[in-house]
């Protein structure tokens, strides 16, 4: 018999799932109502699960699209979505194909263009023509590609500790084959996931509220179908490494906000290079400035002492400048007005 566990209790529930565990998170209930967009892609029928939340008592000021990272799903945007809805925005939060509750195809050509196209079709299906886009981590690469492909639909772009601010291959990181990535995915355990997040995301300081993001990934591993998902993860890892967006930041034409946790040092393959080379990779303080200089109409928020997940680790410091930016774009404020509002929000939190 299938049973549902509220999302807030994921951390306590994984050990109880047993045979109920699945690579579509069938036994996990998301924080908002789950909806399904069914579409045809690459000769097969796929399902993209998403959440679509709107203010209850007024017409929305606009729509915000939230795009998750590789080690996550849309569910980790719960607090962000609540704040956005309270501020009067409609929020659409998809799980990309291969992630979260969405389909895990056995055969799929993963490209950022394909994921962006899938996302646009989803938005069209729910009647959304224009969006303010936020992408976190890998979602930042998806968001950048989406914005480059469909600039007339993107009112603003926010990159929240995105990966892809540098070309790792050009920095000397060796190529890892898809088969090698697959073996690495199969070898994952809950303990390894926790250790990685502890070191890479939270600087050795673990808090109880981080537990769900380990347990969610551990749920996938419990499934007898996990090898299929592991293959998708290997393919998306290859996509991230071989399809850089860094060379096209100058082509972005919409207002763009960069929110960069300064402690972040995320970089694919840094474990494969020398100590000397590793020290040059994932330098987010430097990468944030370089990226802001490359994007024509951009604003940079630097969050000292914060790592790869500002919206989890330091929500208040993230949300205030983000809302100020969205409100300014929504109200048609000038570039100077938006910059001043964002700066004031940052100063208020310091």
Domain ranges of the chain: 5-349
Q: What per-residue confidence (pLDDT) applies to 332?
A: 96
Pairing of strands 34-41, 90-94: unpaired
* Gap between the Cα atoms of 6 and 27, Å rounded: 9
* Inter-CA distances, 10 with 15, 66, 74, Å: 10, 22, 15
Angstrom distance (rounded) from CA 295 to CA 291: 6
In 3D space, the residue among 92, 140, 132, 91 whose CA is nearest the CA of residue 115 turns out to be: 140
User: Which residue, among 303, 31, 348, 341, has the nearest Cα to 161 in the 3D structure?
Assistant: 303
Task: Spell out, as residue ranges, where the chain has pLDDT lower than 70.
Answer: 1-21
Sequence-distant (6+) residues with CB within 8 A of 172 are: 273, 277
pLDDT of residue 258: 98
What is the rounded distance in angstroms from the CA atom of residue 300 to the CA atom of residue 288? 7
pLDDT digits (tens, 9 = 90+) for 253-287: 999 999 999 999 999 999 999 999 999 999 999 99
What homologous superfamily is domain 5-349 in, according to CATH? Answer: Alpha/Beta hydrolase fold, catalytic domain (3.40.50.1820)
CB 228 within 8 A of CB 28: no
Q: Confirm whether pTM is higher than 0.85.
A: yes
Residue 20, pLDDT score: 59
3-state SS class at 195? helix
pLDDT in tens, 26-63: 888 999 999 999 999 999 999 999 999 999 888 899 99
Report the chain's mean pLDDT, rounded to a whole number: 93
CA–CA distance, 109 with 243 (Å, rounded to integer): 13
Question: What is the structure's pLDDT at 200?
Answer: 85
What residues pair up with 53 in beta bridges, in sequence order? 91
Q: Quickly list H helices, the chain.
A: 10-17, 78-86, 112-125, 138-149, 178-186, 190-200, 211-222, 226-242, 275-278, 284-294, 310-313, 315-330, 335-349
Using DSSP bridges, classify how beta strands 44-53 and 90-94 pair: parallel, antiparallel or unpaired. antiparallel
d(CA 332, CA 350): 27
């Amino acid at each position: 018999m299938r049973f549902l566990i509220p999302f807030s209790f994921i951390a306590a529930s994984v050990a109880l799932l047993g045979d109920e565990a699945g690579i579509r998170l069938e036994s996990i209930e998301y924080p908002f109502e789950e909806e399904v967009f069914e579409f045809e892609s690459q000769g097969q029928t796929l399902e993209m699960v998403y959440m679509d939340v709107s203010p209850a008592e007024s017409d929305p000021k606009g729509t915000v699209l939230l795009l998750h990272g590789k080690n996550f799903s849309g569910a980790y945007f719960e607090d962000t979505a609540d704040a956005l809805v309270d501020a009067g925005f409609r929020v659409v939060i998809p799980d990309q194909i291969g992630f979260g509750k969405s389909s895990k195809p056995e055969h799929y050509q993963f490209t950022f263009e394909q994921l962006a196209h899938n996302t646009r079709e989803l938005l069209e299906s729910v009647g959304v023509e224009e969006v303010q886009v936020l992408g976190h981590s890998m979602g930042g690469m998806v968001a950048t590609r989406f914005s480059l492909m469909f600039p007339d639909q993107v009112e603003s772009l926010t990159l929240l500790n995105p990966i892809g601010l540098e070309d790792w291959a050009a920095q000397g990181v060796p190529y890892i084959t898809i088969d090698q990535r697959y073996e690495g995915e199969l070898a994952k355990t809950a303990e390894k996931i926790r250790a990685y997040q502890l070191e890479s995301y939270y600087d050795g300081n673990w808090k109880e509220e981080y537990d769900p993001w380990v347990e969610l990934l551990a749920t996938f591993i419990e499934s007898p179908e996990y090898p299929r998902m592991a293959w998708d993860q290997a393919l998306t890892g290859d996509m991230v490494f071989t399809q850089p967006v860094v060379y096209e930041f100058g082509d972005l034409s919409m207002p763009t906000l960069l929110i960069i946790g300064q402690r972040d040092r995320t970089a694919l393959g840094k474990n494969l290079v020398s100590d000397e080379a590793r020290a040059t990779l994932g330098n987010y303080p430097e990468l944030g400035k370089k990226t802001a200089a490359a994007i024509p109409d951009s604003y940079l928020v630097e969050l000292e002492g914060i790592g790869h997940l500002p919206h989890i680790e330091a929500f208040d410091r993230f949300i205030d400048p983000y809302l100020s930016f969205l409100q300014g774009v929504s109200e048609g404020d000038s570039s100077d007005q938006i910059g001043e509002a964002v700066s004031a929000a940052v100063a208020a939190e310091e």
